[in-house]
Amino acid sequence: MPAHDAGLHNNRQDRPISSTQSPMLSARNVVKSFGGFVALDKCTLDIAARSITGIIGPNGAGKSTLFNVFAGVTAPDSGTMSLGGRNIAGLRPDQLAGLGLVRTFQISRELGELTVIENMLLASPTQSGDAVWRLLFNPGRVRTEQSAAIAKARALLEQVGLWQLANEPAKNLSGGQKKLLEISRALMLDPGIILLDEPTAGVSPLMTKMLGETITRLRDQGLTFAIIEHDMDVIAELCDPIYVLAEGRTLMSGTFREVASNRDVMHAYLGKVA
Amino acid sequence: MISFIVLMSIVICFSAILALALNFQWGLGGMVNFGLAGLYALGAYACALLMLKGGFNTFFATIGAMVIVGVISGLVAFVTLRVAEEDYFAIVTLGVGEMLRLVALNEDWLTRGALGLSGIPRPFGELVPAEYYAYFMLAISAMLVAATVWFLNRVARSPFGRIMRAVREDDVVAATLGKYVLWARVRIFAIGGALIGLAGSLHAFYYQYIDPTQFSTIVIAYAFMAVIAGGRGAHAGTIIGAAVVMVLLEGSRFAKDIIPWLDSDQLSAIRIIIIGVGLILLLIFRPQGFLREYRLQVELK
Ligand SMILES: Nc1ncnc2c1ncn2[C@@H]1O[C@H](COP(=O)(O)OP(=O)(O)O)[C@@H](O)[C@H]1O
Ligand SMILES: [Mg+2]
């Protein structure tokens, strides 16, 4: 039986969280094309441990594709990727999740027929009941773990004002609520690094502000974030450094001030978006 | 009339287990199984042959049939899903089911082909007096349905049940949240397969004679109807669905008494029409089915 099935997620030793200085997640010359279209063109990028790294760029720049490649959802054509110094090429998404890497999706992918609380519990890494035999022979342990997971889920949901909707099927939530659920669900995994794909799209200004505070607090506790975001206020307030992607490549990186004053960046945006 | 009801109840019981197996695989786990009829036949033949040729008693033959169908189902899922997209899986199951049916039809040395297997022993067949046997069989069958539902409820309400539904809703999300989707699907298919083996065994005990015609593709349609009518993922609903389908199917035999000018060919066509119309009406007036699947509810306070 594979390790992640035996409830070994909480085995932190092989997690790359502690590698403080070196870049935690990095891509070197990653190429990914769809048919003839090159979505990532030798993309190189480092996400330092305990940073909140921002990733911006015009639509179609390849930002979401980069996250897909990092998370093992899409296989790159070439290039290398590492997590905490470990080569992660060819790992499945669930194996990467076991290593502490989790992502959210640009278009919310809530599990609609599951209730909010079920969405949360699904992501809980300590679940002996993942294995059917333990369910039958050690139901007590499964129950204890579930109540602990519910308590943890409750704390996370209360932060984003979703606890009162815990019993609601996730499909009934609003767009913004789905986004918040997805982020909370990712946090259930106790990840070391979270990749957020446009987390504030459709989220109210008040919630966006709260979300920013939560992200900063978690970063201070040791988490690493990479955030794709279109809202420049969010980027300016949270992210350092910021990478600019255009046409599948890293155009530049730096602080918000550096990026904002760069002419190439303005050009990439104006050339594409306008 | 009483004995007709008893016999029909037995049929409902093993149809219900078959439908519960499909509900587990497809209703909860999102895995289409178009090989259901072939795997059902495999269960019945495995059980019968283990007794007739292997000398097993009825209990171990049933366990053996469950293991065989479970393992083969798991292997089919593993081998297919490791290399192919999920969409191809349905087609592979169709092929596997057809292949199993052809084996039953053509491997005369083992299955006696179209002649079928007769003289299949029944549980406690020598001990229970023949005039009471139907009641006894009904009691066993009902107990097995109850045990199956108990087991399935445990699984559906467990973390594994959530994994099943998550894989059904969005396998990429399930994987992103740390679940090994391939392995989950192998287990979903294997556990469902074991239940198909159980249903097949009961089928063999009940008829005491099996041949390939009993496992035609229409069985798959009935099972899907039972699951859809019952409400995807809902165990109790599936049993009600199976009962409704079987009652319509068997009960429409009485149409002969009401509409005497029909011959038997027309009658069998009418039975299928009745079921089809019933399903359409249901989908119009209650598209989600009779009941819905279990959802965890927590206290909000
Ligand atoms: N699965 C796919 N198949 C084909 N083309 C794709 C696929 N995913 C992304 N693309 C294309 O790759 C380009 C980059 O997409 P994406 O990474 O989503 O951009 P961004 O997130 O920066 O807006 C787009 O032109 C998109 O159409
Ligand atoms: Mg995108």
Provide the residues around ligand 2 (an ion) whose CB is within 5 A: A 63-64, 106
Q: DSSP per residue over B179-215, as a string?
A: --HHHHHHHHHHHHHHHHHHHHHHHHHHHS-B-GGGG
Which amino acid, residue B62?
A: T
- State the ipTM, two decimals: 0.89
The arithmetic mean of pLDDT across residues B195-207, rounded, is 97
How many angstroms separate the Cα of A249 from the Cα of each of A62, A104, A270? 8, 22, 17
Residue A64 token pair: 């979401």
CB contact under 8 A, A5 and B183: yes
Determine the Cα–Cα distance for residues B28 and B234; give it in Å rounded to an integer. Answer: 8
Pairs of residues, one from chain A and one from chain B, whose beta carbons lie less than 8 Å apart: 119
CB-nearest to B173 from A109, A131, A189 is A109
Residue B263, pLDDT above cutoff 80: no
The number of angstroms, rounded, from the C-alpha of B72 to the middle of its chain's C-alpha atoms is: 15
Rounded average pLDDT over B194-203: 97
Tokens of B148: 């199956």
Q: Tell me the mean pLDDT in the region B58-79.
A: 97
Of B192, B163, B168, whose CA–CA distance to B180 is shortest?
Answer: B163
Residue type, B20: L
| Contact state of B172 with A118 under an 8 Å Cβ cutoff | no
Rounded Cα gap, residues A46 and A150, in angstroms: 35
User: What SS3 string covers chain A?
Assistant: CCHHHHCHHHCCCCCHHHCCCCEEEEEEEEEEEECCEEEEEEEEEEEECCCEEEEECCCCCCHHHHHHHHCCCCCCCEEEEEECCEECCCCCHHHHHHCCEEECCCCCCCCCCCEHHHHHHHHCCCCHHHCHHHHHHCHHHHHHHHHHHHHHHHHHHHHCCCHHHCCCEHHHCCHHHHHHHHHHHHHHCCCCEEEEECCCCCCCHHHHHHHHHHHHHHHHCCCEEEEECCCHHHHHHHCECEEEEECCEEEEEECHHHHHCCHHHHHHHHHHHC
Q: Does A257 touch chain B (CB under 8 A)?
A: no
Cα of A106 from ligand 1 centre, angstroms: 12
Q: What is the dihedral of CA B160, B161, B166, B171, to 10 degrees?
A: 50
The reply to whether residue B178 touches residue A112, judged by beta carbons under 8 angstroms, is: no
A160-169, B83-92, B236-245: segment of lowest average pLDDT: B83-92
For residue A8, what pLDDT is reported?
Answer: 35
Contact B22, B83 (CB under 8 A): no
pLDDT in tens, B97-136: 999 999 999 988 988 988 899 999 999 988 888 888 999 9
In this structure, what DSSP letter does residue B24 have?
Answer: I
User: CA A123 to CA B295: how far, in whole Å?
Assistant: 16
Which residues in chain A come in under a pLDDT of 50?
Answer: 1-20, 273-274
Least confident of B3-17, B33-47, B57-71: B3-17
**Is B180 in the A-facing interface, judged by CB distances under 8 Å?**
yes
The predicted pLDDT at position A128 comes to 62
The CA A39 to ligand 1 mean position distance, Å, reads 6
Q: Which residue has the tokens 């549980």?
A: B123
| Cα-to-centroid distance, A63 and ligand 1 (Å) | 8
User: CB atoms < 10 A from the CB of B39, how many?
Assistant: 30
What is the nearest CA distance from B97 to chain A, expressed in angstroms? 27
Classify domain A3-9+21-111+176-273 by CATH number. Answer: 3.40.50.300
pLDDT, position B125: 84
What is the distance between the alpha carbons of residues A229 and A198, in angstroms, rounded to a whole number?
A: 5
What confidence score (pLDDT) does residue A239 get? Answer: 92
Kindly give the distance from the C-alpha atom of residue B52 to the centroid of ligand 1, in angstroms, as a whole number. 60
Nearest CB neighbour to B183, from listed A2, A105, A150: A2
In whole angstroms, what is the distance from residue B245 CA to residue B224 CA? 10
Q: Where are the domains of chain B?
A: 2-216
Quick check: B300 and A136 CB within 8 A? no
**Are B177 and A123 within 8 A, CB to CB?**
yes
Q: Which of residues 122-161 of B touch A (CB under 8 A)?
A: 154-155, 158-160
B223-228: long-range contacts (C-beta < 8 A, 24 or more apart)?
B223/B15, B223/B18, B223/B19, B223/B22, B223/B36, B224/B22, B224/B26, B225/B275, B225/B279, B226/B15, B226/B16, B226/B19, B226/B22, B227/B19, B227/B22, B227/B23, B227/B26, B227/B27, B228/B279, B228/B282, B228/B283, B228/B289
Residue B229: CB atoms within 10 Å: 24
Within 6 A (CB) of ligand 1 lie A 34, 39, 57, 59-65
CA-wise closest residue to B33 among B79, B81, B77: B77
Closest residue (by CA) to atom 11 of ligand 1?
Answer: A39
Q: DSSP character for B254?
A: G
* Mean pLDDT taken over chain B: 91
Give the tens place of pLDDT for each residue, B178-193.
999 999 999 999 999 9
CA distance A196 to A133: 35
How far, in Å, CA of A124 to CA of A105, rounded?
18
Residue A256 C-alpha, separation from nearest chain B C-alpha, in angstroms: 30
Residue B174 has pLDDT above 80, yes or no: yes
What letter does residue B54 receive in the DSSP assignment?
T
DSSP collapsed to 3 states, B113-175: HHHCECCCCCCCCCCCCHHHHHHHHHHHHHHHHHHHHHHHHHHHCCHHHHHHHHHHHCHHHHH
Contact A111 B166 (CB under 8 A): yes
Q: Return residues 80-119 of A near B (CB < 8 Å).
A: 92-94, 97-98, 102-103, 105, 109, 111-115, 117-118
Looking at beta carbons, which residues of chain B come within 8 Å of A128? 159
Judged by CB atoms closer than 8 Å, whether chains meet at B295 and A129 is answered as no
- What Rg, from alpha-carbon coordinates, does chain A have? 19
Domains of chain A, residue spans:
3-9+21-111+176-273
Tally the C-alpha atoms within 13 A of residue B183's C-alpha that lie toward its C-beta. 18
* Residue B274 · residue A99 · CB < 8 Å: no
Could you give the CA distance from residue A191 to residue A73 in angstroms, rounded to a whole number?
Answer: 17
Percent of chain B residues topping a pLDDT of 70: 98
